[in-house]
Structure 1
Amino acid sequence: MSKEFKHFLAKSCQDPDQPPFAATLAGHTLAVLDSFRTIFGEVDSPSRLAVQWFNFFGLPLSIYPVFFKQSLFSCLLHDIGKANSGFQEMIRRRGNQLVRHEHLSAVFLQCPEIQDWIGIAEDTDADIILSSVLCHHLKAEPQNQNFAEYIPGVDQPRFSLDVALLSKTIQELAQSVYEIPTPPASFSWPGRWNFDRDNKGTGYKDLAAAKLKKFYRTLRRSKDRHRLLMAVRAALIISDSAGSGLAREGKNISSWLHGTFNDNELLTGTSIKIKILAPRQKEIEKVTGAPFVWQDFQIAAGDLPDRAVLISGCGSGKTLAAWRWIERRLKKTSYARVIFLYPTKATASEGFKDYVSWAPEGILLHSSSQFDLQGMFENQDDRPGCGDFLVEARLFALAYWNRQIFSATVHQFLGFLQYSYRSVCLLPLLVDSVVVIDEVHSFDKPLFSALKQFLANFSVPTLCMTATLPRQRQKELAELGLAVFPQDPAAFIDLHRKTSASRYKVRSLGDYMDQAEGSVSDALDQGKKILWVVNTVDRCQEIAARFNHANTLCYHSRFKLEDRKKRHQEVIRSFQEQSGPLLAVTTQVCEMSLDLDADVLVSEAAPITSMIQRMGRCNRHLRNPDLGAVYFYFPDKILPYEKEDMTAVASFISAIDGEVVSQRDLEELLEKYGDNAIETQRYTAFLGDCAWAQSRAKELADIKETSVLAVLQSDVSRYFELRRNKESFDGLLIPVPKYPPELTWQNEKIGRFPQVTSEIHYHQKYGFAKHPWEIII
């Protein structure tokens, strides 16, 4: 191999024979070591972030030197597996990689000279180094299921290793790491490898596999060692990410990271008061025409401890209460960041628009945030940070490291629990943050289980918020040390007045949908504003098309993103500004993201917490002297819900049928009829994989993959134009049902993503339908 290659490459480059130093194995490794030192400090002087890192992982700072040594060795050796001939041929576009390089790194570590070298170093743990190196790309399945296996399609199993060149590379690299002993002059790796045969290399592989299984058993008994492994492994991942991304983009690693993690630019209570609260209060005064006054429960919320759950009805002002809590936390202790987490992209965007966007350091973070930011504000001068909300896309997760105030979806930050690589790369932000997690009532069982495990195993100030929460979930959060607030809403006059006020007149229509239509027609004749919520997109489209007139709006998830964004804004604006009759037919998208106030709510039966959330969009601000009219009826099918989701729903509706109801009444009925079964703990990879690490990002929540993203055939030319201009094409994407499968197909030039679908199924007013619209209308 030395005759073929002068250098080991770690990254692709235009001229492999004369690569830039950053593309070589030595250059990349030094960049990773530089990133680690800049982020975490030196062996005798941990950085502020290192201190927060240890607090987050529940580790005593006294073992920081141990963490430092494991991490140095891991950074130094993490990519030695790239020195094999298969990877070097692949990176030069002359062949294929035979075995994943990080798996080979773990195998190469079994060389006796490597083991002896690690063993004589003080404060080292060879098993932690082995696991960290193996798992730094999160592609190591538990129980060695794919360990050092040949990549599918490999037609010949042999590869080679230039032992002399790799030995020389390690010796040169080690010279920059003064905290560890000098490596041996040579290593006894074999020059030729074939895992299909019984040989020295296969013996190394078997030895590594045996050590991993033994280490797994040890970690199950040693919580402290497991925590140290998690901290080292995550440190390697973020150091590798920084060393790769910053070098690729030509950034000076040290200066960029020092500027990003600047101890002199921490957030304080005063900064939140000036940058977030003051402009928001001014905006409220502009809308209401009255001086802003804190409610008494909002004032009390500011004094809640570092762990709490705030339960307050829709429209009560709990978001302002949360920001007051943030202000008081930062007045007590400075943190680098504030993170406000929401369950959906729409709620995150609304949270950004109303609060976070007032701060120049603010940013919106979810899968389509860059598109949502386009045209969010009618007057760009309304926000001091406008024009600086976009990030350097090629830095990926690192692009968000220099931001301080976040409105994001919960998956972006808590996804690390299921080893989402992007989320792991955001850990340097999370560990030094004050965190608010909103709408926790909407979390399905896997996501709520993940939330509980986050709270139980990691330390960061956290406020959970919701309008309603079943008693069992309140109990589980309280057992994790969260103070439930308020214990007695009646103790706060303003909150008691809102929650106990007569708000709704409820009527059950049984399973008679025709009565629902009659009630809607009567309300429209009376000039009322009506919100009709159904459980499926198909029924939403069907009803909206049947009431087809100028004052009917249809809103659900199956629009092109650019049209959905317009429809979202149109629905809110119509309820806020339009006089006269109005009908909005929606799906579950209304439950959290729509800040509107309807005179009449018509809703299909749904899980109890969902129905209460829907009711929160009716007579929201107590401005209707006639009470909000609420009608419930049962659809023919309960889909998309399961039978267990609908437990006691009929009893709940029966209890309020014909009654005048307050929010307080709903809370008491939720306690009586809500799902109070003890929920089983779900598996989280970050805590459960132990010696291994396999990404299970899609398992954070119980998301059923019922749709695929596609673009209309008529938009394909726009898609290519946007790609050529390096602009986002998110606005063209539509979630199209997977079934029937003939709804979508692949375009040869586009590839597998996105799919393509026919425009005959799309209507700008009603969205995408399973059948051509000329048949439906």
Structure 2
Amino acid sequence: MKRLLAKSYDRKIHNQPPDYALLIQHSRDVAAACKALAKVTGSVALFNAGLEAEILHRFGKTLLLNGWSQDLGKGNSHFQSMVTNQTGFIQLLRHEVISGLLLFLNEPLQDWQEPLKDIKLIALWGAMGHHRKFDYQTHPNAMVPPLTVHLAHPDFNAILTEMGQDLELGDPPKFEQDWKIEHNLAQDLLDELFENFEKSEANFNNEKERRLLALIKAYGIAADVAASAVARKGESAKNYSLAQFVTNDLSIGFAPEELKTIVHTWAWKSTKRHPQEWDISKLPPSFIIREFQNQVAASESYITLAVAGCGSGKSLAAYLWAQNWCDKLSGNTNFRLFFCLPTTGTTTEHFKDYALESGIPAELISLTHSRSSVDLETMAATADQEEATEGANTTEAAREALKAEQDKIDALALWSTALVVTTTDTVLGLMANARRSIYSIPAIMQSAIVFDEIHAFDDLLFGHLLVFIKNFPKLPVLLMTASLPEARLRAIQKVRPDMHLVPGDEKLEQLPRYYLQYPVNNEDIWDEVTKCIAKNGKVLWVRNRVDWANEIYDEVRDRFRNISVNVYHARFRYKDRSIRHRRVIDEFKNEGKPVILVANQVAEMSLDLSADLLITDIAPIPGLIQRLGRLNRRATPEKPGEPKKALICPQPKVKGDAAKPYKKDELETAEGWINRLIALNKPLHQKDLADEFSALSDDREFDYAKAEKEACFFSGLWKTRVGMTRSEGYTISVILEKDYEQCDDKQYGEPTAKWLRKHEFTIPFKSEALKWKQVSGIRIAPDEAVLYDYDEITHEGKGAAWR
């Protein structure tokens, strides 16, 4: 008799199914991972969610029931056909749905599970959602023959027997015959489930029950990922231990001294002294930690908001804060730090500045999430259709499966990483059931979290932040921004009344830095640029659109042929953008040499530089505050210097909507803010910017009810689907067709994630891009559609544009 399989395997290598491919062994492995996760991180997860320590036993048993239940439904004829290399096989129902039908509606199994009735609902809702594809859209596929659930198979009985022993249920029922399900019966059974689940939703009006359900779902998914990875690597069950893997990887963390090393290394780097002169056991003699930074570090609240101007030292304050939390928590958990920033550019630069040269062992820090005890070739192979969306064709299913495997690798790498510098989506994606975020939850629950630049969050992402901090009230979180609308400040305070607000250093915040001029004409602009260059100054010119930036770049190069002129935006391949980024930063640090940089909005966060003259298009107030933060950035009370000019240009007269990518009312509000500042009739400081922003802030309350609904991690209950992390924008990520054809870094016939990241860039969205081929979800731009201007030798060029 054929064994029941959970995974496909290479029949050229194995005459018989290896252990990892067997359904009974995979079920054991998932259960073992559930037990280990509950033991290692269960207590801290419950504590973070504000749940009582007394329910740890309930949590562990519920998670164990979830683990044993996930894949019972794989013992059906359709799934077994699918994993025996029948490419493109269409199932009547997904396996996790069949698991639910069995355990909710089969009377002998219901009676057997009666002792677990108090935990069954949460456990099985989690199990049915462990591929994030169960809700009202779930339906049996039409025109598909009936399937047979192999209830009478010896393997099925063996799984139930071990499940009963593990959960103290006693002997399971023995089935003498299999169960045949055809389309109409499948639909009737689903309708019955939906009706029962709708009635049960009333049991989850209590937010603590919703939190427990969400944790069980996420930890069950994480257990499945760990089991797949470790078992495939070991192949034979005697060669691996899930408990050991989970315990070892999740036991890695920081000691306070290691975080102190990051702080000291950064401080010595800022002195410009040769590394041989550094003594990282202490701070440099002349280095002073500001009072603002000490106040952030000393915050006792589980949630702290630092609102301070650009260049005030918020990042350093964050590491000091983390060091103090590490001191407090090192006895309770393996301390980790997630440092989250809005964009890949800011993330990369932060990693370089603080982590890369800190002296911390490379295996303890991560930017790219590339380190793991498993790799793509050792991940357990599953049928492509298991990760594909409904209706996907064979090619799409294969691509989605490859992307899913890469997400598993990236997430499992974080289990053994103490410092993760990442984009905000890695953590807040949890609220949208994002795959990588859910896989990472055991690491997230052991961490302190920094969310930087929160002013840059759109409403959807900010809503996810609110739901996250409300539902994890005991997870240490530091929020940082240069400015925040009053409505958003009130929203944070409403969900977290315990929030501790730390304002910036008064001496820095009230240091005169800027002269604003608005509106300005071309003649004014070119006069000021010429004067600045004559004094060997640094000019930053920010446009609201890439094509506008490229036009100004060409004009500046024509006018100033003997000085360095660069253009910087997101339409460069990542590898080219990194080179341009480093060149720009280095040239702005080079004193006594004039330089002009033309950029778009990426300058608001991605560039840590100080200009002597700022020219900018009018933009929403938070964006203008960030742009002004790059003007006279290095001024201090000790070395104040003279205030610098900021020339703000009105909306240009162009065809179409000149406000794009912003809204017209945002720019009108910004104009009012600018006029109020100019009316002060004095050199302006950062506090002036913030005060006048507050005076103009919209009084409407942030819609938290909408945010809760959109955060399907908590609101979904029995329904588990993927939501959205960010609102849709105006751009789309692509790679060049010629790059794709020349790719020499492939796995399983597709470019690796690392290669894709180096070569992708964004262009404005056009509907025709939807017709292009894809690789790992990224469109391949045909040469006849997109022009890419870049010289690999001189590193000059303007990047991508539609032809």
Indicate whether the TM-score tops 0.5: yes
Is 1:347 aligned to residue 356 of structure 2?
Answer: no
* Equivalent position to 1:279, from 243, 257, 265: 265
Q: Cα offset for 1:90?
A: 1.0
Q: Which of 663, 670, 673 is 2:686 aligned to?
A: 663
Matched, 1:639 2:660: yes
Q: Does 1:149 align with 2:140?
A: yes
Does residue 217 (structure 1) correspond to residue 202 (structure 2)? The answer is yes
Provide the rounded CA distance (Å) in 2 between the counterparts of 1:321 and 1:163.
60
1:312 CA displacement: 1.2
Which residue identity is paired with 2:544? N
* Contact map agreement 1:118 1:124 (CA 8 A) in 2: no
Aligned residue for 1:340, secondary structure, equals strand
List aligned pairs for 1:120-519, cutoff 5 A.
120-121=115-116, 124-141=118-135, 145-150=136-141, 155-165=143-153, 167-174=156-163, 177=166, 179-186=168-175, 191-196=179-184, 199=185, 203-219=188-204, 221-250=205-234, 252-262=241-251, 266-273=253-260, 275-286=261-272, 291-305=286-300, 306-334=302-330, 335-336=333-334, 337-357=336-356, 358=358, 359-360=360-361, 361-365=363-367, 395-458=409-472, 459-479=474-494, 480-486=496-502, 495-509=505-519, 512-513=521-522, 515-519=524-528
Choose which of 714, 728, 732 in structure 2 pairs with 1:707.
732
Measure how far apart 1:578 and its partner are. Answer: 5.6
Distance 1:178 1:640, change over 3 A: closer
Aligned-residue offset at 1:563: 0.7
1:651 matched to 2:672? The reply is: yes
Distance 2:767 2:682 in 1: 44
Greater than 6 Å deviation, 4+ residue runs: 367-370, 391-394
- Structure 1 residues 319 and 117: CA distance shift in structure 2, 3 A: same
SS of equivalent to 1:218: helix
Say if 1:128 and 1:771 are closer, same or farther in 2 by CA, change over 3 A: closer
Give the whole-Å Cα distance in 2 for the aligned partners of 1:452 and 1:535: 29
Q: Secondary structure of 2:338's match?
A: strand
Conserved in 1, the CA contact under 8 Å of 2:38 and 2:63?
no
Contact (CA 8 Å) 1:174, 1:182: kept in 2 or not?
no
Query: Could you say if the C-alpha distance between residues 482 and 611 of structure 1 is closer, same or farther in structure 2, counting changes exceeding 3 Å?
Result: farther
Aligned pair count reads: 715
Q: Distance in 2 between matches of 1:187 and 1:540?
A: 74
* Structure 1 letter corresponding to 2:191: D
Matched, 1:26 2:24: yes
**In 2, distance between residues paired with 1:737 and 1:369?**
33
Report deviation, 1:434.
Answer: 1.4
In 2, the alpha carbon distance for the partners of 1:255 and 1:703 equals 42
Measured in 2, the distance between the counterparts of 1:285 and 1:527 equals 23
Q: Is the 8 A contact 2:769 2:781 kept in 1?
A: no
Tell me the alpha carbon deviations over residues 220-246 of structure 1, each in whole angstroms, 9 at most, x when there is no partner: x23333222222212211111111122
1:107 has 2:101 as partner: yes
2:510 touches 2:687 (CA, 8 Å); kept in 1? yes
Relative to structure 1, is the Cα distance of residues 668 and 17 closer, same or farther in structure 2, using a 3 angstrom cutoff? same
Please, what TM-score do these two structures have when normalized by structure 2? 0.83
- Specify whether residues 630 and 756 from structure 1 end up closer, same or farther in structure 2 by C-alpha distance, changes over 3 A only: same
| Alpha-carbon offset, residue 77 of structure 1 | 1.7
| CA shift digits 1:427-480 (9 cap, x unpaired) | 111111111111111111111111111111113011111111223322332331
- Report the TM-score, using the length of structure 1 for normalisation: 0.86
**Which deviates more from structure 2 when the two are superposed, residues 328-337 or residues 31-40?**
328-337
CA contact (8 A) 2:35 2:60 kept: no
How far, CA to CA, are the matches of 1:641 and 1:326 in structure 2? Answer: 36
Deviation at 1:526, TM superposition (A): 4.2
Cα gap change, 1:364 to 1:542, in 2 (>3 Å)? farther
Q: Does the residue aligned with 2:166 lie in a helix, a strand or coil?
A: coil
Q: Secondary structure at the match of 2:181?
A: strand
Q: Secondary structure at the match of 1:630?
A: strand
**AA paired with 1:276?**
I
Corresponding residue of 2:577: 564
In structure 2, relative to structure 1, the CA distance for the partners of 1:751 and 1:460 (3 Å cut) is closer
For 1:654, give the aligned amino acid. N
Matched-pair contact (CA < 8 Å) for 1:530–1:582:
yes
C-alpha root-mean-square deviation of aligned residues, in Å?
2.8
What letter matches 1:209 in structure 2? F
Asked if structure 1 preserves the Cα contact closer than 8 Å seen for 2:514 and 2:643, the reply is: yes
Residue 385 of structure 1 is matched in structure 2 by: none
Q: Which letter maps to 1:610?
A: G
Mapped to 1, the partners of 2:16 and 2:26 lie a distance apart of 15
1:687 and 2:714 are equivalent in the alignment: yes
Contact 2:369 2:410 in 1 (8 A): no
Does the residue aligned with 2:272 lie in a helix, a strand or coil?
helix
- For 2:206 and 2:296, the matched residues in 1 are separated by 38
Q: Cα gap change, 1:604/1:405 in structure 2, threshold over 3 Å: closer, same or farther?
A: same
**Separation in 2, partners of 1:396, 1:323:** 24
> 1:68 is matched by which residue type in structure 2?
G
| Preserved CA contact (<8 Å) 1:238 1:424 | yes
Among 607, 612, 629, the residue aligned to 2:645:
629
Cα distance in structure 1, aligned partners of 2:115 and 2:371:
50
CA distance in 2, matches of 1:528, 1:120: 77
Q: Which runs of 5+ in 1 are unaligned?
A: 42-46, 371-390, 490-494, 773-777
* Counterparts in 2 of 1:514 and 1:157: CA distance versus 1, 3 Å: farther
Partner of 1:651: helix, strand, or coil? Answer: helix
The answer for the alignment partner of 2:277 in structure 1 is none
How far does residue 108 in structure 1 lie from its aligned partner after superposition? 1.9
SS in 2 for 1:323: helix
2:228 & 2:730 partners in 1: Cα distance? 32
Post-superposition Cα deviations, 1:630-661, rounded to whole Å, max 9, x if no partner, equal: 00011231110123433521111112336411
1:351-389 CA-partner distances (Å, limit 9, x unpaired): 21122332225433469999xxxxxxxxxxxxxxxxxxx
Q: Which amino acid aligns with 1:607?
A: P
Closer, same or farther: CA 673–187 of 1 in aligned 2, 3 Å: farther
- 1:153-211 CA-to-partner distances (Å, cap 9, x unmatched) read x64232222221164233343265153332122377x5321123xx5x55543332222
- What amino acid is aligned across from residue 56 of structure 1 in structure 2? N
Task: Give, in whole Å, the separation in 1 of the partners of 2:776 and 2:44.
Answer: 44
- % identical equivalent positions: 26
Match of 1:381 in 2: none
> How far apart are 1:311 and its partner, in Å?
1.1
Check the 8 A contact 1:160/1:191 in 2, yes or no. yes
Change (3 A) 1:326 1:394: closer
Q: What is the CA distance between 1:215 and its match in structure 2?
A: 1.9
- Structure 1 residues 586 and 676, CA, compared in 2 at 3 Å: closer, same or farther? farther
Superposition deviation, residue 579 in structure 1: 3.3
Any idea what SS the aligned residue of 1:292 has?
coil
- 1:576 aligned onto 2:563: no
Separation (CA, whole Å) in 2 of partners of 1:606 and 1:589: 13
- Do structure 1's residue 762 and structure 2's residue 760 form an aligned pair? no
Q: Specify the code of the residue in structure 2 equivalent to 1:18.
A: Q
Task: From the superposition, tell whether residues 343 and 742 of structure 1 become closer, same or farther in structure 2 (CA, over 3 Å).
Answer: closer
Q: Check whether the contact 1:743–1:770 (CA below 8 A) recurs between aligned residues.
A: no
Aligned position for 1:716: 740
Letter matched to residue 508 of structure 1? Y
User: Which residue, out of 6, 12, 15, partners 2:8?
Assistant: 12
Distance 1:634-1:238 versus aligned 2 partners, 3 A rule = same
- Structure 2 CA distance for aligned equivalents of residues 320 and 540 of structure 1: 32
Q: In 2 relative to 1, CA 710–157 (structure 1 residues): closer, same or farther, beyond 3 Å? A: same
